[in-house]
Structures are given as structure tokens and as C-alpha cells.
Structure 1
Amino acid sequence: MASRHIYATSFDECERLPIDLPCPECDGDLERERRQTYCVDCGLVVREYEIDHGPDWFDNNDGRTSSRIGSPLTPSRHDDGLSTEIGSRKDAKGNVLSSRTRRRFSRLRREHSRARTPTKRSRNALRGLVDVRRIASEHELPRSVRDRAATLFREAQAENLLPGRSVNAMAAGSVYAACRCFDLPRTLDEFEPVARCDYSALRNAYMVLQSELGLHIAPPSPSTFVPRYAARFDVGEATQFRALELARQLEETGRAIGRAPTGVAAACIYVAAQEHDETVYQTDLADAAHVTPVTVRARRDEIQELTNA
């Protein structure tokens, strides 16, 4: 019995439905329930539910298409992770290649490398995406942020934003922009040591990405930096909660507007540590926040005015 006579075009798996066709064994009534169609009288299972909602992994043995075969695409690689690697010393079975075969494969690798990046545009994409993966690895960023940074770099190249600018600066700016899109507490000063460009080029690349690609990025808030700095100086939970409370009070009253969020977060931790008798030095907080101790003291005075009011 063909499945088109048993199954409707669409149905609910959990619904119990009658079938108009009789049972092939006893001519009894058929019913469809969940994953199978069975006879009410004799209990014969006519046909089980064969729809697989999993991924379509096909092989090519029976002539079907294999377009869905392979690993998922990787946006952080210039060829989406579909490149082919040519070995050098051993074949697929682990046998050592002869010297003549190794020389031939060496020539094949050279030509294959040239074919992967035949144009200047493809070579810039390769350099930039490699730098994106390197910077993301240095900062231990999650894969979602790394892929978002790679997508931003590809969009920048598609909009012709790379000519006249450093590829490394655009790669570092893409990673920083991805962190801002995901509300990760990072600053440009933290990316400068690992970026292969100076601070001005990195800042200019980020501003170009934000304006030309239309990125809707909210200004960073001091409360996002508090947990990170609190974990670095190993302060107590009560101190961290108090610092978060102070940072949110400054944000709600508008006193954090126009202030460096890292400096405000450092001052909140300093004031909270003093209230709970924990020792945290201003110079250490200033170094972690990439501000001066004068900034930490100025923000501290503002916090004390707010709490005493």
C-alpha cells in the first residue's frame, strides 16, 4: 500500500485520525496515531511514521545528491572552511611517499596555494580573516563573536572600505565592533597590543565600520565592566553587588554620561571595597581600566556626593 494513500499532506503527530482505507489483512478499520498507522480489529501495523526531522546526510552510493554533505560553513575562513589540504609525507593509508612523489605533491601544494588566492582581493580576505581569528583567540572570545567579526570584515570588503586603509586595522576594528554588538566589556586600549596597527588606525577603522555599515551600537555602560574588574581583583560578592548598585545609580541619574565607563566602574569598585573593608589600590584599578588615578579619584568624589545626597 502506497504511503500517499495512508498519510495526508500534513497532520499532527499526536492526533488520532481515522483512515478511509480498509486493513489489508482483515478489512478492518485503520487509524493513525502518533508514529504509526494500525488496524483497530487485528492490530496490524500497516506502516510506521518514516519522516525524519534530522539533518539530510546523504551519501552518493545510490546516486542521490550530496550537496548537504560535509562540515558546516565557517565564516571566519576565506573559503568558508571548504579548502582542500594536500599532504606531504604520507598517503591516506599512512604509507610513506617516495621522494619523487613528495616532489610532485610539493609542486601541487604550491599551485594549489596560488589557485586559492588568485587576486589581490582574495589575498586581502585571507590576511584579514586570519588576523580576525588570531585576535579573537588572544582575547578568548566565543565563536559567535568571532564569526560576527568575520562577517563584518567581509561586509567591509564588499562595500570597498579596505582600499586606502590597513587590512590589519580593519580586522581588529571588526573584532572590537563585534564585541560591542554583543555587549562584551572590551575597550580599544585592550585591542591595541594585539592589533598590528596603532591606536589611531584602530579607532578610525572602528568608526568607519560603524558609520558605513550602519551598526546600531549602544554606548557601553559602567555596569558591564564591574563584574570583569571585580573578578580580576578577587573582591567579595557583597563588594561586587554594591559596586553594581552604585554603577546603576550613576546610570539612572545621568551622572555617567560623558564619563569613561571603565573609569566609572573602577571608582565604583573602589568605593564598594572601602565600604566592606577590602584593600584595592587606586593605581591597580586605574591600570586595569586604562585610565589615570586622577580619573578614579574624580569619579569617587562624584559617587560620594551621590550617596551623601
Structure 2
Amino acid sequence: MIIKKNNQNQNRNGLTSLVCDHDQKGMVTDVERGEIICSPCGQVMTEGISSDSRSTHTLDGFLSNSQTGPKSSLTIYDKGLNTNIGARNIDFAGRRISSKTILKFKSMRVWDSRSKSKASGRNLISALVLLDGVKQKLGLSNAIAEHVAFTYRKASTLGLIRGRGTAEVMAASVYAACRENGIPWSLDEVANTLNITKKRLSSCYRILIDRLDIKPELANPLDCLSKFCSVLEVKEKTKRCAFDILMQANSKRILSGSKPAVVCAGALYIACIANNENIPQTRIAEKTLVSSPSIRKALSVLNKALSVV
């Protein structure tokens, strides 16, 4: 170990450091302890690095220490770019401002409150509050919530909300965003979540499809399989058997015009029978929101075409 004696110095930040004869490339920074260590000799060269200076060495640390505030989001009424005019008539130094400036700020507060109290603004606020509840109930990701908010704002701009309830347009926006991103939420599930009828939801959804030029993905029964297996708590072997049945059905275009939930429920019931897993048909119908006659019809067609059971 080669260390020069009495070569301690203190920089402007108050950090105590030593001078070593080894190359600077051998220095290692310990972000947890706040120290810089010479790897050839093991000497602690600098210690007492503050947490703020350490955290900026990584991307996560830089973003966490950002002073620009939260990122803008469509799920927030003002997209996170709001301005608040304080009620206290003092400046940044705590001194009372002049009477002329107080009158200006009072006028600014009045116009700020009036701009936020428009009917369209109140409607958007209530819709985004509703979206936050739907996001929690359906387990939607932040990206899907942003997509839903974008669709609703676009519908509001085109005047599609007039004459329709906020819950109807929000439900149609949620269903449209789920269809575009391949998320298997059915009309019944979305309608029940927002406490509206399926007829009103489907009517509003068709209007959004027509006016906003939305091109949803074609529904695939495989998208429903994971959700149904999780709800029914079936075995992994049964899940794989149902997956093989659906793959064969898709390749042979069996029940291509039927509802994806019906086809998936029928394939899952066949897989349960083939693997001796005792799950009643009524329980599958209850958990998948599919009627028992529809499951029996899908079972008959799939079994006749594939001869599974």
C-alpha cells in the first residue's frame, strides 16, 4: 500500500480525501456508504458524499431527484400542468405586497376559479374520477388508463357526450381501449362495473367506433383463457389441454363467428372432462358469465370436430 503521509485535503464541499499514487481508474465509488475507495490498496480516499450527489449517478436517482414536478398525464383534469394562486398576500421573502398588487392577484384568482368552473370542465373532472374507480376495479394499467382518458377527451371534443351520460361514454371508452389493446374484458363485465345496461354500452360503443375511427383488434378466445383459469382455479394440465383445443379450433376455423368467451368456456369444460377435473358446468357458466346452453352448444361442436372426449 502506497499512501503519501499528511496528504489529506478538504475540498469546498467539506469532503475529506486522501491522495494515492495509484491510477484514478482504479477508484471505486460505494454509493451506499458514500465513499470512494482505491481498489488496488483498499484505502478510503473520500468519504462523506451526500445522498443527493450519489443518487444522480444513476438514471433512477436522477429522475427521483428531478425538480420539475410530476409528469403530465391525461388522467388528470389539467394534465398535471395546474397553477395555484395562493391566498396569502405575501411575496417570496415573506413581505406583504402592495395594495395595487393585491387587487391584481384578487382579479387573477377570480378568473382562475371561473375558468375551472365551466360545465365541460366539471364533466371532465367527474369522468376522470370515475375512470380512477374503474381502473382500480378492473385492474387496468397506467398505459390503458391513459388510452381511455385520450379516447374520452377526443369524444368530448367532438361533442359526443351531449345527450349521453358520463358513465355511458366512459364505459364505451374503457371497452374500446381494452379491445384495441387485446385485454379480454367483455361488455357485461364493463357494464356491471359502471352500473349501466349492456344495451346502452353497446350503442355508445358503436358511436365511438364510427366517429373516432377506432379499429379494434379481432377478439381471440385465447385472450380469455388465463382469466377463466384463474377464476375457476383449474390445474395447469387442464389449462394446457384447453390451450391445445383452442389452437386446433383456431387453425380449423371452428366457431369463428361465435363469442370468444363462449368458445373459451366450451374448450375449458372439455379440458376439465378430459383431465377428470370435477368442475360443474353451472359453475363455469357463473364464473365466465356465459349461459349453460351456449357452453353445451360449443362443447358439442368442438367435440364433434376434434373428438377430444
When normalised by structure 2's length, the TM-score is 0.67
Structure 2 counterpart of 1:236, one-letter code: K
Counterpart for residue 185 of structure 1: 184
Q: Pairwise mapping of residues 153-302 of structure 1 onto structure 2 (< 5 A)?
A: 153-302=152-301
Question: Structure 1 residue 112: deviation in Å?
Answer: 9.3
Equivalent pair of 1:136/1:175 in contact (CA under 8 Å): no
**More divergent stretch after superposition (117-126 vs 149-158):** 117-126
- Distance, in Å, in 2 between the alignment partners of 1:171 and 1:148 is 12
Equivalent pair of 1:267/1:297 in contact (CA under 8 Å): yes
Question: Structure 1 residue 118: deviation in Å?
Answer: 2.6
- CA spacing shift, 1:86–1:130, aligned 2, 3 Å: farther
Q: Please, which runs of 5 or more residues in structure 1 have no aligned partner? A: 1-51, 58-65, 89-109
Structure 1 counterpart of 2:217, one-letter code: A
Q: Please, which runs of 5 or more residues in structure 2 have no aligned partner? A: 1-56, 88-108
Question: Structure 1 residue 231: deviation in Å?
Answer: 1.4
- Are 2:103 and 1:125 aligned? no
- Distance, in Å, in 2 between the alignment partners of 1:134 and 1:207 is 24
Structure 2 counterpart of 1:276, one-letter code: N
- Distance, in Å, in 2 between the alignment partners of 1:278 and 1:163 is 51
Task: Give aligned pairs, total.
Answer: 229
SS of residue paired to 1:259: coil
- Distance, in Å, in 1 between the alignment partners of 2:133 and 2:152 is 14
Equivalent pair of 2:225/2:243 in contact (CA under 8 Å): yes
- Distance, in Å, in 2 between the alignment partners of 1:273 and 1:294 is 17
Counterpart for residue 136 of structure 1: 135
Cα deviation per residue 1:39-89 (whole Å; 9 max; x = unaligned)? xxxxxxxxxxxxx9979x9xxxxxxxx9x822101111111123467999x
Structure 2 counterpart of 1:117, one-letter code: K
Question: Structure 1 residue 288: deviation in Å?
Answer: 2.0
SS of residue paired to 2:193: coil
- Distance, in Å, in 2 between the alignment partners of 1:147 and 1:241 is 34
Cα deviation per residue 1:178-212 (whole Å; 9 max; x = unaligned)? 11111011101011222143222211121111221
Question: Structure 1 residue 167: deviation in Å?
Answer: 1.5
Identical columns (%)? 24
SS of residue paired to 1:208: helix
Question: Structure 1 residue 142: deviation in Å?
Answer: 0.8
Question: Structure 1 residue 111: deviation in Å?
Answer: 6.8
Equivalent pair of 1:149/1:175 in contact (CA under 8 Å): yes
- CA spacing shift, 1:297–1:70, aligned 2, 3 Å: same
- Distance, in Å, in 1 between the alignment partners of 2:112 and 2:196 is 27
